[in-house]
Chains A and B, each alone.
Chain A
Amino acid sequence: MLQPIASLLTMGSGMNLLYLLIVVPLLLSLLCLILPRTQETLKGLLFLLSIFFNLVLSLGLFVAQDTTVLIPWAGFGMNLAIRVYAFSRFAILAAGCAFFLVGLYSLCFIKGKSYQGGFICFYLLLMSFANGVFLANNLVMLLFFWEAIMLVVFGMLLLIKRPKPRTAVKAIILNAIADFLLLLGIAITYSLSGSLMMDVISGLPVEGAGVVGFLCMMLGAVGKAGAVPFHSWIPDAADDAPLPFMAILPGVLEKLLGIYLLFRVCVDFYALQPGSVMSQLVMWIGALTLFFGIAMALIQNDIKRMLAFSAVGQVGYMVLGIGTALPVGIVGAVFHMLNHAMYKSSLFLAAGAVEKATGTTDLRKIGGLGRRMPITGCSFLLAGFAFVGFPGFNAFFSKDLIFDAALQTNVIFYIIALLGVFGTAASFLKVMHAAFFGPLRLPQGIQREEVREVPLCMLLPMFILAAGCLLFGLFNRLPLGVIQPLLGERLAGVEYAGWPHSMLLVLISIVCLLLAVGNHILAYRYTGSALKSVDHFRYIPGVRQLYDAAEKHYLDPYNLFLSLVKIYALVCSCFDRMINWIYDVLLVKMVSFLATNFHDFSDGSTNRYLVWTFSGLGFLAVLFLLLI
């Protein structure tokens, strides 16, 4: 059934229909922008049509053969070049499914909200630009769409009106730094390889200028993915942005984009060697992100914030996996990217359902919702099993591959990864327990009867995604069959699908999970509150101070950066004031002093003038005598 669409898409060599993936959402978005505010229903229909169209096209593209299209554009190697190959097919399909499901959900979620029109417009723009990134075969074209996504993020964060758009500014500054590094990296890569075509650049050595080029491009990629130190706007966005934004961007798209580019940089453009310094560096970035994100997720008392921090943490796994530069790690990372997109968007959507029903996601105000919202709870639990890496679910397999790679490189990364498993499980158990089990607690002013299950169009996407987690776990041959060919010959014919090879690793992971469960049960017994189940970690001397500092944003790299900026601004302002003072005060005083004195001196006395004249003559005479 899809084959006709596929052949239609890749037909011809010059102007074929691949551009539809970019152009149609873009045009529809602009149409939504110019439609009047009263036409919300029409906009909704257009939106639905667009995401469905996108899904069909991406499905069609998935079965299409490899194609490259090149339209000369600005010269200097900057062309509108499109390439359809394994990874772009895979990524566009993954993104297309996510766009469709989250779009369906958000159509119900945003109904009647003030930002409805803007959200639809930005969502379609995002879809167009994301497809652009995945299709781009030219680094400049890639950069264009990359930056455009940054602007869409900025716009989405401004949708909910705040007196001061701090989060949006923070997001754009952090993203802009990362994107600037990417631009720098692209320039260096271009000078090294002599081409901007992404299928031409390959296997550049990571040495000399290549180190800088690799580093810049790598930081640009992980910056978009939201790794340390570019992460800190994501938890803030959880408070400030519409919830579907969290599900689609930090949940799905940023990981897809970031890991896609990181994969291209580490595997295609540069020949990253396992165990090299750069590889270690990428792994350390991953490990730090992992540790920091999960440690912060552990202490959150708000579902959205917990999910946002854990979204940061999970990126750590993917960066760690690719950083190993081992086939097993890379396959694991890409697989984890897919899994994370599924379970994290499902979890975010469930959190959105809770917010829709009760008006908040703060666990200090709500609790025991499981009976009132059984399907949401069920889907949250299902996705949560994937989230913690429960055996049989998809993330279990992907994490296992990453663990394998980490252990092959250095045992320290493995230990950090295991700590991550424990932390993830503990934080999930805490949130799950507090939100859905136990006696019902509701915020003031909301009656028990008002809290009911959300409509089907919201339930369906989250449930499909959660069920997909189980499906991709039980039949992991399905996704891995697509992912493994990405590596081509490097794979050397090894098969990662099926049950993990090493029973030991599985056992250790299971022990970690059991430890988390045990910790939860004991702590719940002891404190009597699910929310306090991890407080004994929170208040360990030493750790406590670190947590306090982190809570106050002292450890936020953005704030450190801002304080540097402030110091710089102070220096500049002092300098500026000094210059101003010279112009406004010193010069004026000097001139008026001179002028007044001169004025007083020329008092109109002829004698005095004569004295001047003769002293002038004397001066001239002396000059003549001296210089002759």
Chain B
Amino acid sequence: MSASLATLVYAFIGLPLIAIVLLNLPNRKFAEKLCIGTGLFVCIVQMATAVIAVLLLIEFNKASMSFSQFWDMHVADDAAYFSVDFLSAVCLFCIGMVGAVSFAAAGSTVRDKILNYTNMMMVLLLGMNGIALVTDLFSVYVFLEISGIASFLLIALYRDPVGLEGAFKYLVMSAIASAFILLGSGLLFLEFGSLRFVVLEEMLQAGVYNNPPLVWLALFFLVAGFAIKSGNMPFHGWLPDAQTGAPSPVSIMLSGIVEQMSGTYATMRLIDIFLLNKFTVVNIGMMLLALLSIVLGAIAAVGQTDFKRTLAYSSISQIGYIVLGISCGTVLGYVGAVLHFFNHSTFKSTLFANAAAVKNQLHSTHYDDLGGLQKQMPIAAATSVIAGLSTAGLPPFAGFWSKLLIIIAVWQTQGAFVASVALLASIFTLAYFLRIQHKVFFGPEKQRPAVKEPKDGIAIASIALSVVTIGFGILFPVLLLALQTQGVL
């Protein structure tokens, strides 16, 4: 067991570091040829390792596995620095998956900056893996900053005006968020003397804290900070600009995983620790933010005139669903949120990959320039339909099940009204998705130079993700049963 554990850590933290070093040793021309392959290798190994981690957890029948340093496996569980449990395993898998899609898309879209892109992607992967693995709040902050800086550089990869503008906005907002998170962590440290999740959980459960207002203040800062990071309304301002301005593969990363890892995942951990039925106001605050994001995000998405921008607003809305699931504070809502986390990674990556393909061919994602692409790009059109229906939560696609679980959980905890609002917003989801489909792929063909479907990584990735979406949707009852026998549900 110990040997395999070491492998896990090397795969998640060591591999990106090693990749950076190895890629920058040879001369630039040679390294550029290796970039895509290396990136894909790292990501696929990460996915495989995440699966192995899950299997190991099931094998040893443990909720989590901890290890303190790379070289020392014989440390008590609660003192460990890194730890893998089911939630982080799912997140790590998603990171690997979206990373692989991003690299697949980068093959044809990022040409001269490929080495810079790969380096920064490795740093981004490292940062996000760190967020998923660490066991204390301060380390979360550290890895958050790492992934944040990598994101800024990636958004502004080409140093073009839109990219720079997006990166700047993200930077400003992230600065506020970082300040808040640091402040919240500091206040918690002041109160508890430790930031380790295990310690915090124990002390909160025992009720050992003298200064409740301090805890409230800390929670306020943390919730607000993570809400900015995950792009909830009304803290979303940076998100559409950053995603539209970023190069296509970076958009895939940002929308597919970065927002979720830096904002939503941390929120899930908070909920885990703080047993939020004691702090109902956090639930209510998160629920309100989530509802605002769901409804306004969807409505705003309907009014957009740009493919990628529509998808960006759609991300706001969908992450709203995840936060809504978390805000229930029940196991069902939690499971629904985790599943929607995974589903959002799949379908949003598919859609952004298709947007990358479209942009690659037409050098634009504005609706006025698109339309009638169905004939020329059948794979993109078909996979968009699948991803869109999954987004809107139509059976039998995967998105249906996770949304269903979330809405049931919301109905149980927060009443029928909130659940109906969340459900009705799905109609808007369908509306903006149909609008995308209508404006981009269906309809009459426009006068333009001939375009064709690029037979490259994007198409393969789209198809693979669609297969995952459908397969997950069909096999969902099996998964649910497995979760139940494992005692998760």
Q: What is A's interface to B at a CB cutoff of 8 Å?
A: 591-592, 594-596, 598-599, 602, 604, 606, 608-610, 612-613, 615-617, 619-621, 623-624, 627-628
Contacts and interface: CB of A to CB of B under 8 A. Distances in A.
Given A592-B302, A595-B300, A624-B219, 19 more contacts: A595-B302, A598-B296, A599-B303, A599-B305, A602-B237, A602-B300, A606-B237, A608-B237, A610-B172, A613-B234, A613-B237, A615-B234, A616-B227, A616-B234, A620-B220, A620-B289, A623-B284, A628-B213, A628-B281
A617 B237 CA distance: 14
Contacts of A624: 216, 219-220, 281, 285
B237 A609 contact: yes
Nearest to A604: B241
A612 B168 CA distance: 17
Per CB-CB distance, the 8 closest pairs between chain A and chain B, nearest first, are: A595-B303, A609-B237, A627-B281, A616-B234, A612-B234, A598-B300, A599-B303, A595-B302
B299 A609 contact: no
A604 B168 CA distance: 12
A301 B244 CA distance: 85
A391 B168 CA distance: 114
Contacts of A591: 299, 302-303, 428, 431
Contacts of A608: 237
Contacts of A606: 168-169, 172, 237
Nearest to A599: B303
Given A620-B220, A624-B281, A613 B300 contact: no
Interface of B: 165, 168-169, 172-173, 176, 213, 216, 219-220, 223-224, 227-228, 233-235, 237-238, 240-241, 280-281, 284-285, 288-289, 296, 299-300, 302-305, 428, 431
A627 B220 contact: no
Given A598-B299, A624-B220, A616 B235 contact: yes
B119 to A, nearest CB: 28
B393 to A, nearest CB: 18
Nearest to B296: A598
Contacts of A628: 213, 216, 281
B287 to A, nearest CB: 11
Contacts of B304: 595, 599
- Interface class of chain A by DSSP: helix
Contact of B173 (A596, A609, A619, A627): A609
Nearest to B180: A617
A618 to B, nearest CB: 10
Given A598-B299, A606-B168, A613 B281 contact: no
Given A623-B281, A624-B220, A598 B303 contact: yes
Contacts of A627: 280-281, 284
A133 B281 CA distance: 75
24 contacts: A591-B302, A592-B303, A594-B303, A595-B300, A596-B303, A598-B300, A598-B303, A599-B303, A609-B173, A609-B237, A609-B238, A610-B172, A613-B176, A613-B235, A615-B234, A619-B234, A620-B289, A623-B288, A624-B216, A624-B220, A627-B280, A628-B213, A628-B216, A628-B281
Contact of A620 (B223, B233, B241, B300): B223
Contacts of B280: 627
A620 B235 CA distance: 12
Nearest to A595: B303
A594 B234 CA distance: 16
B173 A613 contact: yes
Contact of B169 (A592, A609, A621): A609
A599 B303 CA distance: 7
Contacts of A596: 303
A612 B281 contact: no
Given A613-B234, A627-B284, A604 B296 contact: no
Nearest to A616: B234
Contacts of A623: 281, 284-285, 288
Contacts of B173: 609, 613
B220 A599 contact: no
A143 B223 CA distance: 71
A613 B289 CA distance: 12
A619 B176 CA distance: 16
B230 to A, nearest CB: 13
A627 B176 CA distance: 25
Contacts of A599: 300, 303-305
Contact of B299 (A594, A616, A620): A594
A613 B173 CA distance: 9
Contacts of A615: 234
Contacts of B219: 624
A602 B285 contact: no
Contacts of B281: 623-624, 627-628
Nearest to B241: A604
Contacts of B305: 599
